[in-house]
Amino acid sequence: MKVLTYNMHKGRDRKRNNVVVDLAEAIAERQPDLLLCQEVFHGRTRDEEQCHRIAHAAGHDHVFGPNKFYPSGCHGNATFTHLPIEEHVNIDATESFFEKRGILHAVLHYADAPLDVLNVHFSLTGRQRRRQWFKLAQAMPDDPAMRVIAAGDFNDWRGNLDKRVRQSGLLENSLWALHRRERRTFPARRPLFALDRIYVRGFRVVRVE
């Protein structure tokens, strides 16, 4: 299974230009089996539905979990896959009035068994991220034999949350296969911070890019 996570930043580049079409094409070229996006904008018209554009380009079904609402629409997390989606729920992970955050929990059918997929966008402050981690841990199935993928923008630039996750023994950070410098994902032009994660349980990591 190929897993890809990406913060869309509402489909805008640094100059606020709409680059959704380019992003959708770039994502489709990578042919992920599972794509987890954050800050996907969902507008009032079909042309503004970024989920539709990405799903069409990748040939995937999708589920969307809104986190913040505007007069013109909303943005949130979106999970795309060609695997059957059995159910999904959007968990409110907001810890501050100024930062609307969520965990989009989808259950997929994979290899004749359920696969829990948690699409994450955590807050900018460490205290809020710790509380959000507890919500994520509570959402995971209790049975340690059940497969889990938890990925997205954790905003964990110091790595403190990553230490807590690893100490819990609940998940494995698949990006540890990379050199520390290669784990950096933000800003895109010249990455300095490792904000994004792909945590797994019940999988053997073959390759990380």
pLDDT number for residue 141 = 96
pLDDT number for residue 8 = 87
Fold category of 3-201 in CATH: Deoxyribonuclease I; Chain A (3.60.10)
pLDDT number for residue 193 = 66
Do the beta carbons of residue 117 and residue 149 sit within 8 Å?
yes
pLDDT of the chain, 209 residues: tens digit per residue: 999 999 988 877 777 787 888 889 998 999 999 999 999 998 765 555 788 889 999 999 999 999 999 888 899 999 999 999 999 999 999 999 889 999 999 999 999 999 999 999 999 999 999 999 999 999 999 999 999 999 999 999 888 888 888 889 899 888 777 766 677 766 667 766 678 999 999 999 888 88
- Which residue ranges make up each domain of the chain? 3-201
pLDDT number for residue 65 = 97
Q: Which positions ≥6 away from 150 have C-beta within 8 Å?
A: 117, 118, 120, 136, 140, 171, 197, 198, 199, 200
